Each structure stands twice: as C-alpha cells, then as structure tokens.
Amino acid sequence: MSSLLGVIIAVNPVPWARAQMAFTLASHIILVPLGVSWAFMTLIANYRGIKHEDRDALLLAQRWSKYMAVTFAVGAVTGTVLSFEFGLLWPRFMGQWGEAFGIPFAFEGLFFFTEAIFVSIYIYGWRRMEPWSHFWTGVPIVVAGIGGSASVIAANAWMNDPSGFTLDSAGNVAKVDAWGVIFNDAMPLMAAHMVVAAYVVGGFLVASVYAFAMLRGRLDRYHRIGFLIPFTVAAIAMPIQIGVGDSLARWVHHNQPVKFAAIGLVPETSSNVPERLLGQLNDDGTVSGGVTIPGLASWLADPSTGTSTDVQGLETVPVSDRPTVRQVNVVHIAWNVMVGLAMLLFLVSLWYGAAWLFRRDMPQSRPFLLIASTTGVLAIIAMEAGWVVSEVGRQPWIVYNLQRVDDAATPNTGVWIMFVVVVVLYLALAAALIYVLRGMSRRFRDAEGKDVEVPYGPTDGTGTRDDNPAVPEP
Amino acid sequence: MSTVAAVILFIGVTAYTIFGGADFGAGFWDLVAGGTDRGDHPRRVIDHSIGPVWEANHVWLIFCFVVLWTCFPDAYASITLTLFVPLAIAALGIVLRGSGFAFRHAVLRTSERRAFGALFATSSVLVPYCLGAVAGGIASGRVPAGGEAGDPLDGWVNPTSTLGGVMAVTVGAFLAATYLVWDARRIDDAPMVEYFRRRAVGAAVVAGVVAFAGIFVLRADAEYLFHGLTSRALPLVILSALCGLTALVLLFRAVHRGARLAAVGAVASIVVGWGVAQWEYILPQTLTVDEAAAPSGTIGAVIVATVLAVLFIFPAFGLLYRLDQKGVFPEAGADGTEDLEDDD
C-alpha cells in the first residue's frame, strides 16, 4: 500500500513546480494592474466629483472603490501565496540567493503595508470623512502601487541581471550591496514597462466594461464618464508603453543576447536579420514559415547602425545553456502576440485621440465601442505574453547564467498534488470573483434613481445617515 | 548584526500573533456563532470590528517571511523543505479566508453569505493551526539545517506541533474575544459585550489549561526549548502567566479597563519567550542565528526597511486603528446598506 502510494506520489517535481509558479503568477498578474492603476482612475473621478460637484463622477468613484476592495483582497491573498511558493517550490533558489534576491521584497513590504492601510481608510472613509481629506487618503495608494510593483519587478529584474553581490570560493554569497541588487541594470526599464503596463491594462479593462454597457444602450452620463476616464488613461499610457518596450528590447539585445535571439528566431549570428512574423524554429536549427521583413530586426536592435547591426544567434551558446527549441518558439510567438496586440491597441488609442482632437468628443460609432469593449481582454493577453517572453526567454536559468531552474526546485515529489489543488481553487476563485463583481454591478444598477448613497451626504446629526433604505433581498 | 535581524524577525512574529492571531480568532467566533439567525448579531459585530483592518493585519506574515528569507535564507529553505505540507495548506487557507471574507461583504443573499462566511470561518481555524504546527516543528528541532528536508510528516504531526497548533487557535480566540468586548462596548451593544466577555473568559481558561498541559508536552518532546523556557526565558513565562491571570480576573469581574492590554501582554511575552528559549538557534540545535545570517549588506538593508516602517507605516497603522476606533468607518458593505446602527 505504501509502495503504491509512493509510486503515485513520486513524480518529478520540477515541471509541476514550474507549472504551478507559472499558473499562480499568471493569475495574480491580472489583478496587479487593478491594484496599481484603479486607485488613480478612482481619484480622477473623485477629484472631478468634489471640484465640479459632479454627482455622477462621485458615485462612480465610490463604486469603483468598492469593486477595488474586492479585487484588492483577492490580489492580496494570491500575492501572499506567491511568497509561500518562493520557498515551497524553489527552496534551493531561496537558500542560495535569498540574501540578494529577497532584498527588494523588504521594500515591497513597506509599499504593500501602506497600500493595505490606505485602501482600508479610503474604502471605509466615504461617509464620515471630510471630502478633501478623504481624497488625500487615496493618494498613498497610487504611490504605493507604483512603488510596490517596481520593487517586485526589481527582484524579477535581478534574476535577469544578477548583480550587487560577490561570491566566495565555494560559490556562496559572501558580500551584498543592497543598492546594487535593487537598482540592477535591468530594473529601471523592466519596472517602467510593468508600471505602465498596469495603467494600460487597468485602463482598458475598466473602460471595456463601460464600452460593453454602452453597446447595450446604457448611454447615460454615468457610463460615459466610466468609459472616458479609464480609456483616456490607457490611451495616454499606450504610446509611452511602446517607447519603453522598445528601449527594453534594445537592453535585452545588449545584455541577454540569447533571449533576444529567441525573440527574433535567430539561429546564427549575422547582420541584416529580418523581422519574422510567426514562423518557427525547427529541431535541426533551421527557421521556416512566417512573413519576413528584411533587415528590420537588425535595424530595431540598433537604429544607429541600421541593417548592418549584428544580432547574436542562439547557437553561440551550448544547447544546455539556452532555451529548448520549443521554448524558443513559445518566446517568439508570445513576442508576436505582445507586439501585435500593442500595435492594435495603439491604433485604437490613435482613433480615440484623433476623435478628441478633431471632434472634441469620443468616437460614438458602434464599431469603435465594439473594439473598445475587447481592449481589456486584449491588453491582458498582451501583458501575459510579455511576461512569457521575459520568463521563458531566460530558460534554462532561474538566475541568469548562475543557477538553473532544475537546480532550484524543491525535491518534494508531492508538488503535483498542490498544483492540482491550486488550479481547482483558483478557477473557483475566478468564477466567484466574477460572480460577485457582476452581482455588485447589477445591484448598483437596480439602485439607480433611488437615493441609496450620496458620498459625503448630510447626516441626521446622530452620526447615522437618514437616507439609507435597506435594499430588499433579491 | 545577526542578533538585530533575529530581533526584527521576532518583533514581526509577535506582531503577527497579536494582530493576525486576533483576526483568526474573530473567524473562530464567527464559526461557532451558530445558525444564520442566532449567529447574525455576533457576526455583524465581528464583521464591523475586523473589516477595515484585516488586510493590514496579515501583511505581518509577509513581513516575517521577507525577513526570514533575506536575513536567514538557509533557515527559510530548510523550513519550507521540511514543512511543505502545513505551509501549503496554510497558503491555500489564506486564499480561502481572504476571498471568503471579502466576498461575504460583497453579496447580499443569505445563502451566498453563508457559503462565503463558512469558507472564511473554517479557514480561520485551519490556517493558525497549520502555522502553529509549523512553529512547533521548528521549536522542537525537527527541521534540519543545510537545505535538507526533514521528515515530511513528523515535522508537523508531533506533540509539540499539536500543542503549537492548538495554542495558536485558542490564543487567537482569546485575543479576539477580548478585543470584541471592547468593540461591542464602543458601539454600545450591551448584549454583545456580555456575549464576548463570557467567551473571552472561557477562551482564557482553555488557553491556560492548554499552556499548563504544554509544560509536560514540551518536557517530553522538545527538550532544548523546555530547558530554555525554564531558565533564561523563565521571567517571560512568569510574566505571561501573570498577565493571563490578570486578564482573566478582569474579564471575569467585567472590569473592562486593562483587560485588553493584559491579554496582549500575556500573548506577546510567551511569543518572545519562545524566541529567547531557543536562542541562539534559529533552527534549534542544528543552525544558529549567527551561522544562518546573511551578509551584513543584506541585514543593513532590512534594518533600513524596518526603520522606514517605524517612521512611516506605524503612524499610518495608528491612523487606521484610530479612525476605526473612533467609528469613522460606519459601513463595510457592498452598498452601504448594512450599518450596524440601523438594526439596533
């Protein structure tokens, strides 16, 4: 019996550990943009609401903050799971590198604390705080959101560019320069890329919900503002993101040439490398399929030298030190998806911007709203794809050129059980989250017209509000 | 340097026990509050009390993890290797708990509230048990050093772990009931003051009995820890017992002033006592604090982060608790329809 159990349980933990990390991160990263950028958009609405006595904007801000309470809670717990997983799945990575890799998290903790505290104050403070002091309690959430994600990305960037430490003869970390760890070379661009991504994704995601509502005929002012604020934020962030992404790609060209080769599907070092859309790397090292644009990859890698720029090929490093053929193809496709969607979203942003410029109004046509209602999902896919490029492109390393993923994983053979449980749990969580948010939305809509909630509204002097009829149970 | 890091770690553990523990305890009282109708009133007080503060309370756990993995990476690796199972259960329980609590606030239908509430409440017992069992496994020297895995089952299914788990649940329940007496008084809810006062007395008695039984468990199962508790940590053990007795007497006689402080003192001093008792080991008898410590550059960074926390986070925390205590946060619900005041 115990031997049978042993056979069932004794499964190679490495692929399961990877799968679980990938799955839980991919889930968590969807909630991150909401945690980072939604507060900013809420504050815009809140500001409008107080400054211009705009009741719609104020109501919107209050409702957004209530959705935020839910998504922030789920983001907080899925984030906590990640901090367990560092140890549960990658104990040898943490044991070896925790003293360096771990440092940015000490500062992330500060930002997270700040965020958690002020999210509570802001969400619970609507009724009894002074309007402007209440508004200001929202500002630390925005700052902490940016600082927190930059800190986490600093740790992730360190895996791409491990620096700020010296090793002793046994290969253990002997000296640490915390500043060098946090502000490693990869950090500024990667952090900027993620923070801007949070504004792109958060903006498009929230806006797409209101675009969808407008398609269904809810064309009132409330829904219009609900669309305009986040969509404007995203449309402004989008071109910035393309610029940051372009710089980051050039950084990768110089510092992680193998990842760059995987992105561009370049087997051998050469100049005048074409940009290939789709296509694949074959097991024999040849590249086939797809559409090529001559010289573009070289030109993008360094416009100053143009098409004569050398791009290092995959074959310059031993097979064991570079991603497998399958991983290369995954990186390449993910890159195509990310860039393709970014271009699409950029065009939609241009359309929106042009309409404002020439007509002083958002595009009202049905096709625009139809496309706008899909931007949220598209932006999420682009972000996930970008993250796949970054992580899969680093394989087989967990710490670039220093530690392999295989050497970092836990030897616990029962990891697959946890993986299965986590997947089931997260799927249920996602379903429940969507159900709850939709329920809130429906309830808000049903309450329309009835004076259920006026932020900063008058109180009856006893501290309780008088215009607060209970919503009957459905 | 390494001593400073260990002190910071233990400040984190103590804070998590006091704040997070009480939060779990509130979930325990939610669980045992009875059916939908009977349990409605206490559940509302619990919701009202922990709603605004629960997320911030649990950041302490992250704080402990971060200090552990940056300052004592070998210890962190060894702990997660050996205690994979209880830590995995705790992680998943935290997901259920947090989302269950948030979702319960966001729905109105009774059946849905009950389902999410049940998730929240059961995981409120499961998680502290697992974390207490982890503490027991570490304290009784079952986690070997050197990035090796100890026995995957014995590491957390053993007398000291059972003691740790039961202790964590009862101590949380004791703290929570004591805080809830205070919270119920603040909103002038006399029946609930009495309700939670009785439970606080009950929990204090149970916690005392468990602690007393623990003496024998530790003597038989965790020699090094027992020795430490009866020598250099003895003053803290005595302080904890005195504080616990004071809290019990005050609660029993319905003297509310000071009961909360005494309860916190009882719990904090025993947690600190644990740290002192297993000194100078981070993993008793296999890895000392000094051996496990990261290079000074790392610890320096953690000290900087801690100082920043004291300067910026503590005042913010104070603000949150003060606003909460002043009743600035009247409502917690999805649409502001569940003010406690409206029902009374």
CA-based R_g, chain B, Å? 20
pLDDT confidence band for A469 (50 / 70 / 90): very low
Show Cβ contacts of residue B60 under 8 Å, excluding neighbours closer than 6 positions.
B12, B15, B16, B19, B20
Give the range of the structural domain holding residue B213, as residue numbers without chain letter: 2-321
Decide if B137 is inside a domain.
Answer: yes
Asked if residue A433 lies in contact with residue A70, where contact means CB atoms within 8 angstroms, the answer is yes
Chain B residues in contact with A108 by the CB 8 A cut-off are 66
A126-140, A374-388, B37-51: which range is least confident on average? B37-51
Q: Is the pLDDT of residue B297 over 50?
A: yes
Q: Is the pLDDT of residue A225 over 50?
A: yes
Asked if residue A125 lies in contact with residue B329, where contact means CB atoms within 8 angstroms, the answer is yes
> Would the CB atoms of A76 and B92 count as touching at under 8 Å?
no
| Residue A269 in tokens | 């070092």
Calpha distance B160→B134 (Å, rounded): 10
Which whole-number Å values give the CA distances from B279 to B3, B233, B234, B237, in the listed order?
Answer: 10, 10, 13, 15
The SS3 assignment for A289 reads: coil
Quickly count: other Cβ atoms within 10 Å of residue B304's Cβ. 14
What DSSP designation does A270 have? B
Nearest to A88 among B67, B88, B328 (CB): B88
Confidence (pLDDT) at A140: 93
A63-77, A455-469, B283-297, B310-324: which range is least confident on average? A455-469
Chain A residues in contact with B105 by the CB 8 A cut-off are 69-70
Confidence (pLDDT) at B335: 39
Span A413-429, pLDDT tens digits? 888 888 899 899 889 88
> Would the CB atoms of A470 and B305 count as touching at under 8 Å?
no
Decide if B107 is inside a domain.
Answer: yes
Nearest to A87 among B56, B77, B301 (CB): B77
Confidence (pLDDT) at B285: 83
- DSSP letters, A350-371, are HHHHHHHHHHSS----HHHHHH
Domain total for chain B?
Answer: 1
Among B65, B323, B73, B28, CA closest to B175: B28
Q: How far is CA B103 from the centre of its chain?
A: 22
Q: Is the pLDDT of residue B150 over 80?
A: no
Among A384, A444, A472, A453, CA closest to A209: A444
Calpha distance A310→A299 (Å, rounded): 9
- Which stretches of A279-324 are DSSP H helices? 296-301
Quickly count: other Cβ atoms within 10 Å of residue A53's Cβ. 9
Span B178-190, pLDDT tens digits? 988 888 888 888 8
Asked if residue A103 lies in contact with residue A157, where contact means CB atoms within 8 angstroms, the answer is no
Nearest to B74 among A95, A126, A443 (CB): A95
More confident residue, B40 or B166: B166
Q: Is A107 on the interface with B (CB under 8 A)?
A: yes
Residue count of chain A, please give it.
474
Confidence (pLDDT) at A456: 60
Mean pLDDT, all residues of chain A: 86
Closest Cα in chain B to A472? B108
Closest Cα in chain A to B334? A66
Q: Is A95 on the interface with B (CB under 8 A)?
A: yes
Q: How far is A15 from chain B (nearest CA, A)?
A: 17
Q: How far is A330 from chain B (nearest CA, A)?
A: 30
| Residue B170 in tokens | 């009862």
Nearest to B335 among A100, A140, A452 (CB): A452
HSE-CB of B4 using CA atoms within 13 angstroms: 14
Q: Is the pLDDT of residue B343 over 70?
A: no
Chain A residues in contact with B324 by the CB 8 A cut-off are 124
Chain B residues in contact with A433 by the CB 8 A cut-off are 99, 103
> Would the CB atoms of A470 and B95 count as touching at under 8 Å?
no
Span A433-457, pLDDT tens digits? 888 888 888 888 777 655 445 456 4
Mutation site, B53, B70, B107, B291, interface A, largest A CB count within 10 A: B70
Q: Is the pLDDT of residue A222 over 80?
A: yes
Confidence (pLDDT) at A116: 86
Calpha distance A268→B67 (Å, rounded): 45
pLDDT confidence band for B328 (50 / 70 / 90): low
Q: Is the pLDDT of residue B48 over 50?
A: yes
What φ, ψ does residue B281 adopt, rounded to 5°? Answer: -95, 145
Span B134-145, pLDDT tens digits? 999 998 888 888
Q: How far is A398 from chain B (nearest CA, A)?
A: 16
Q: How far is B339 from chain A (nearest CA, A)?
A: 8
Decide if B342 is inside a domain.
Answer: no
Among B202, B275, B203, CA closest to B237: B275
Which helix (H) or strand (E) element contains residue A242? helix A221-255
Closest Cα in chain B to A434? B103
Q: Is A98 on the interface with B (CB under 8 A)?
A: yes
Confidence (pLDDT) at A4: 55
Confidence (pLDDT) at A234: 95
Decide if B337 is inside a domain.
Answer: no
> Would the CB atoms of B323 and A121 count as touching at under 8 Å?
yes
Asked if residue B97 lies in contact with residue B60, where contact means CB atoms within 8 angstroms, the answer is no
**Residue in this structure with the two tokens 């965790």, named with its chain if needed:** B222
pLDDT confidence band for A237 (50 / 70 / 90): very high
Residue count of chain B, please give it.
344
Mean pLDDT, all residues of chain B: 84
- Count chain A–chain B contacts defined by CB atoms under 8 A: 272
> Would the CB atoms of A83 and B329 count as touching at under 8 Å?
no
Helix (H), strand (E), coil (C) string for chain B: CHHHHHHHHHHHHHHHHHHHHHHHHHHHHHHCCCCCCCCHHHHHHHHHHHCCCHHHHHHHHHHHHHHHHHHCHHHHHHHHHHCHHHHHHHHHHHHHHHHHHHHHHHCCCHHHHHHHHHHHHHHHHHHHHHHHHHHHHHHCCCCCCCCCCCCCCCCCCCHHHHHHHHHHHHHHHHHHHHHHHHHHHHCCCHHHHHHHHHHHHHHHHHHHHHHHHHHHHHHHHCHHHHHHHHCCCHHHHHHHHHHHHHHHHHHHCCCCCCHHHHHHHHHHHHHHHHHHHCCCEEECCCEEHHHHCCCHHHHHHHHHHHHHHHHHHHHHHHHHHHHHHCCCCCCCCCCCCCCHHHCC
Calpha distance B165→B142 (Å, rounded): 15
Decide if B51 is inside a domain.
Answer: yes
> Which amino acid is it at A416?
W
Q: What is the mean pLDDT of residues B299-306?
A: 90
Chain A residues in contact with B311 by the CB 8 A cut-off are none
A56-65, B143-152, B253-262: which range is least confident on average? B143-152
CA-based R_g, chain A, Å? 25
Nearest to A98 among B51, B76, B342 (CB): B76
Nearest to A91 among B88, B97, B147 (CB): B147
Confidence (pLDDT) at A126: 84
> Would the CB atoms of A69 and B106 count as touching at under 8 Å?
yes
pLDDT confidence band for A55 (50 / 70 / 90): confident
What DSSP designation does A311 have? B
Closest Cα in chain B to A134? B328
Q: What is this model's ipTM?
A: 0.85
Confidence (pLDDT) at A340: 94
Mutation site, A21, A65, A84, interface B, largest B CB count within 10 A: A84
**Residue in this structure with the two tokens 């998806």, named with its chain if needed:** A337
Q: Is A127 on the interface with B (CB under 8 A)?
A: yes
Nearest to B103 among A113, A422, A436 (CB): A436
Calpha distance B85→B81 (Å, rounded): 9
Q: How far is A91 from chain B (nearest CA, A)?
A: 4
Helices and strands (H, E) in chain A, number of each type: 16, 8
> Would the CB atoms of A447 and B335 count as touching at under 8 Å?
yes
Confidence (pLDDT) at B327: 65
> Would the CB atoms of A113 and B316 count as touching at under 8 Å?
yes
Beta bridge partners of A399: A403
Among B80, B86, B78, B77, CA closest to B153: B86
Q: Is A75 on the interface with B (CB under 8 A)?
A: no
Show Cβ contacts of residue A240 under 8 Å, excluding neighbours closer than 6 positions.
A196
Which helix (H) or strand (E) element contains residue A176? strand A173-176
| Residue A47 in tokens | 């500001």
Span A249-292, pLDDT tens digits? 999 988 889 999 899 888 888 888 888 888 888 888 888 888 88
Chain A residues in contact with B106 by the CB 8 A cut-off are 66, 69-70, 436-437, 439-440
Q: What is the mean pLDDT of residues A399-412?
A: 87
What φ, ψ does residue B155 adopt, rounded to 5°? Answer: -55, -30
Calpha distance A53→A64 (Å, rounded): 18
pTM of the shown model: 0.87
Asked if residue A230 lies in contact with residue A211, where contact means CB atoms within 8 angstroms, the answer is no
Nearest to A95 among B84, B147, B336 (CB): B147
Calpha distance B41→B48 (Å, rounded): 11
Asked if residue A405 lies in contact with residue A260, where contact means CB atoms within 8 angstroms, the answer is no
Q: Residues of chain A with pLDDT > 70: what percent?
A: 92
Show Cβ contacts of residue A360 under 8 Å, excluding neighbours closer than 6 positions.
none
HSE-CB of A429 using CA atoms within 13 angstroms: 29
Q: Is the pLDDT of residue A467 over 50?
A: no
Chain B residues in contact with A69 by the CB 8 A cut-off are 102, 105-106
What φ, ψ does residue B34 adopt, rounded to 5°? Answer: 95, -170
Confidence (pLDDT) at B329: 64
Confidence (pLDDT) at A9: 60
Q: How far is A313 from chain B (nearest CA, A)?
A: 37
> Would the CB atoms of A176 and B323 count as touching at under 8 Å?
no
- DSSP letters, A48-87, are HHHHTT-HHHHHHHHHHHHHHHHHHHHHHHHHHHHHHHHH
- Show which of residues 408-467 on chain A sit within 8 Å of chain B, judged by CB atoms: 410-412, 414, 418, 421-422, 425, 429, 432-433, 436-437, 439-440, 443-444, 447, 452-453, 463-465
Q: Is A82 on the interface with B (CB under 8 A)?
A: no
Decide if B53 is inside a domain.
Answer: yes
Nearest to A410 among B70, B81, B85 (CB): B81
Q: Is A17 on the interface with B (CB under 8 A)?
A: no
Confidence (pLDDT) at B332: 42
Nearest to A120 among B53, B335, B342 (CB): B53
Quickly count: other Cβ atoms within 10 Å of residue A347's Cβ. 12
Calpha distance A353→A357 (Å, rounded): 6
Q: How far is B102 from chain A (nearest CA, A)?
A: 6
Q: What is the mean pLDDT of residues B263-270?
A: 90
Mutation site, A16, A105, A163, interface B, largest B CB count within 10 A: A105
Closest Cα in chain B to A181? B298
Decide if B332 is inside a domain.
Answer: no
Span A8-51, pLDDT tens digits? 566 788 888 889 999 999 999 999 999 899 999 999 999 998 88
Asked if residue B145 lies in contact with residue B101, where contact means CB atoms within 8 angstroms, the answer is no
